[in-house]
Amino acid sequence: MNSERVHFLIDLAIHDGKFPGFAATVDSMVAGTASEPGALQYEWFLSSDQSRCRLLETYTNAAAMQAHMSGPVVQQLVPRLLTFGRIERFEVYGTPDPQSAAALESMGAVIYRHWSGLPGRR
């Protein structure tokens, strides 16, 4: 793992009957994140019954992560997404800046700071 990168792991539960709205919002979130510099990974994984999903995100560094957090995907689309589902687990891996760390923790995120390992290779 590259010690500058910041990773998110987010588990969501989708409210009964709300999958179509959830899916449409996810599509908008993917399109918005695709244009963000420094967004290396933004992948959604869905359970077979469409009731749960997991989002994996990776940013080149804390600045790229902060730009995502302050951009339209998080500021406008996440509140819409949360009308169709709820966050059940939110983990951050890496070292976000103190202001972002406080904002993430206020959203229920648990932050795991980089401790040891091999830097990401690419």
Residue 118 lies in a domain: no
Residue 61 lies in a domain: yes
Residue 120 lies in a domain: no
- The string of pLDDT tens digits covering residues 34-72 is 999 999 999 999 999 999 999 999 999 999 999 999 999
Residue 1 lies in a domain: no
Question: Residue 65's domain spans which residues?
Answer: 8-112
In angstroms, the CA 106 to CA 6 distance is: 17
Q: Which sign does the torsion angle of CA 43, 68, 59, 79 carry?
A: negative
Would you state the structure tokens that stand for residue 49, as one six-digit string? 């019954």
- The string of pLDDT tens digits covering residues 15-37 is 999 999 999 999 999 999 999 99
Residue 38: give its domain's CATH number: 3.30.70.100
- Contact predicate 79/117, CB 8 Å: no
